[in-house]
Every structure is written in structure tokens, then in C-alpha cells.
Amino acid sequence: MFERTDLSVADLRLTCTERQYRTQDFACTTTATVANAGPADAVHTLTTVTFGAPADCTINPDTGQQQTHVLGTGTTATFTKDWTVSCTEDRRHMFSTTAVIAADEPHPEDTDRANDVRSINWVPPDVKPRSFPSSINVKKEGLIPVAILSTAEFDAVTRVDQTSLTFGATGLEQSFVRCGSPEDVNDDGRADLVCQFDTIKTGLTCGMTSATLMGRTVGSVVAFEGQDDIKLTGC
């Protein structure tokens, strides 16, 4: 006798501490939220999270990580998995993570398999390119320029759906104004996409030390996000 239920990966985020060209280890963290929409209750679930990196990087652990939950009807669970990353090439990188949920018991039948898997990429943004630290005067600055850096794996100029971009304290803020002509802001020979965001709408307030950009690609749609350190002034 099969019980019907709808398990899903409801949200997936990826943060990395890579902020510049460097060859030391840095950390990436996958944050996954899984859900059971029911009607079956107390479903034993197994979620497998994987992490992907370019060929010049090694990952620890280098296999998928698993997490079990017993999910009641209408409940969610959020968990994190950490990855240590070490890259040899002196450049910025794109990373990816994927989460897949499945029932960890024989009886439930998932009524919608399409939402059982979710992926997101990490792309490196540079808030206020060509200035370090990335100082933002929250009282004065009308617009904040943010560069989405192209990498060997990702051409920001042609791949980014500009209308999808959100930026600010959480990454979900509808602060997009426009993108300008592509320019190579980090002198790596690859043109980068430089866009402007409305400071007020970013929700950035004194004391915050990082800002998050989120968006989607054009064509085969892939979600991406990235983070940069910021220094807020005018506080």
C-alpha cells in the first residue's frame, strides 16, 4: 500500500568565502531546505547534496553528503553542508551545488518528482569594482555598482538574465536599476557585466559586512548567487 506525498527541495543556497584570486583553502557552504507537503505524515527522507568545482580545484569531502529527516506533513527542515576548496589556478571560479531528496522508506510515492532536485551556482560578484574595500555610504550613495565577474566557466555578459538580478542584504531585494556596457573590471582579459542597484532598496544597514547578488541565466535557466564583503560608511 503506497502513501502519496510530495517531498521537495524547497530552497538551496551556496556561499563561498573566495573573495579574490588566491590559492589558499577557502570554504563553501550549501544550505538546503527540504519540505514535505503531505498528505503522508512522518516521512523518513534522505537528501543527498553534491558540490562541483572546476578541474583545478580539489574538494573535501569529494563525495556527496547525506542528511536524513523525518518530515511531518507541511513541515520543512533546513541544514548546511560545508566544503573545503583548494584551487591551483590564480583566478576566480564558479562552483555549483545540487540537492536531491528521496523517501528513505519503501511506502511513500512522490506525487511530483520535478521538485525533488534543485541546483544553484556560485558566481563571483565584485561590489564597487576597482575600489577596495568596497565602501558604500548608505546616506549618500544613490546607486551601487556591482560587477558579475566572468570566469573560464561562465560568461557573465551573455549568460546573465539582467531582469532576474536581485541584490542586497539577503540577495532577494528588488533593487536592480540597469546594466551598463561590459568592461573588464579585474583585468583578467574577460569582459564583466557591471550593473547598478538602488542603495535604499538593497536593505543594507549599518553593521552589515557582506552583500549578496542573486539571479538566473538566460537559455537553460540556472539559478546563481554570489557574495562580496562590503564596508558601510555614513553610519
Binding site for Ca ion (CB under 5 A): 6-8, 110, 112, 115-116, 184, 186, 188, 190, 192
Of 82 and 109, which CB lies nearer to Ca ion in the complex structure?
A: 109
Of 124 and 215, which CB lies nearer to Ca ion in the complex structure?
A: 124
In the complex, least distance from residue 112 CB atom to Ca ion, rounded to whole angstroms = 4
In the complex, least distance from residue 21 CB atom to Ca ion, rounded to whole angstroms = 11
Of 78 and 205, which CB lies nearer to Ca ion in the complex structure?
A: 78
**Integer Cα distance of 195 and 193 in angstroms:** 6
Of 105 and 112, which CB lies nearer to Ca ion in the complex structure?
A: 112
Of 116 and 228, which CB lies nearer to Ca ion in the complex structure?
A: 116
In the complex, least distance from residue 82 CB atom to Ca ion, rounded to whole angstroms = 26
In the complex, least distance from residue 147 CB atom to Ca ion, rounded to whole angstroms = 8
Bridge partners, residue 211, by sequence: 228
3-state secondary structure 117-183: EEEEEECCEEECCCCCCCEEECCCCCEEEEEECCECCECHHHHECHHHCEEECCCCCCCEEEECCCE
- Residue 120: Cβ-neighbour burial (10 angstroms; 0-12, 13-18, 19+): buried
Of 9 and 204, which CB lies nearer to Ca ion in the complex structure?
A: 9
In the complex, least distance from residue 131 CB atom to Ca ion, rounded to whole angstroms = 15
In the complex, least distance from residue 85 CB atom to Ca ion, rounded to whole angstroms = 21
